[in-house]
Amino acid sequence: MGYPTLFTLDYSGDSSTWVENRGIVTQNSTTGNWIDDNILYSMRQAGYFNPNSSGYVTHNVVFNTRGWVVDGATMQFSGNSWGETENAVDIALLSGTTSGVPYSSVTDLQNNNSVATISDQR
């Protein structure tokens, strides 16, 4: 069984200017989200997790994006990896995101996700 794949047209230049936006978006306050075993590439962001949503992001491969964006959500990341075309960042923790579990240790978050590049904006 192969990975489900989400992608958009292959754009050139800085991904912040791309029209295609996000592969996955949670609604505010949704729980039990599970994003597992996907390949997401060539899009602005692999996913955007809105405030008070929660769940798991596991075993995905993400490349040529601006990464996963956590905006006040509680998503547990593990086993994710990054393709050859680097992301702008792999995981961005925006200012409204908790400093506690599961983001208590940025080093653990990096190490549990193939040495992810973390943008910690909290």
Helix (H, G, I), strand (E, B) or coil at 1: coil
Q: Is residue 75 a part of any domain in this protein? A: yes
**Please, what is the average pLDDT of the chain?**
88
Q: How many domains does the chain have?
A: 1
Q: Is residue 88 a part of any domain in this protein? A: yes
Q: Is residue 33 a part of any domain in this protein? A: no
Contacts of 97 (CB under 8 A, 6+ apart): 70, 71, 72, 73, 103, 122
- pLDDT tens for each residue of 21-34: 788 999 999 999 99
The answer to whether residue 19 scores a pLDDT higher than 50 is: yes
pLDDT, average across residues 57-83 = 96
Q: Is residue 118 a part of any domain in this protein? A: yes
pLDDT, average across residues 89-107 = 95
Q: Is residue 117 a part of any domain in this protein? A: yes
Q: Is residue 13 a part of any domain in this protein? A: no
pLDDT for residue 17? 59
- Structural domain of 109: 45-122
The answer to whether residue 112 scores a pLDDT higher than 90 is: yes
Q: List the beta bridge partners of residue 7.
A: 41
Query: Are the C-beta atoms of residues 63 and 82 closer than 8 Å to each other?
Result: yes
Q: Is residue 27 a part of any domain in this protein? A: no
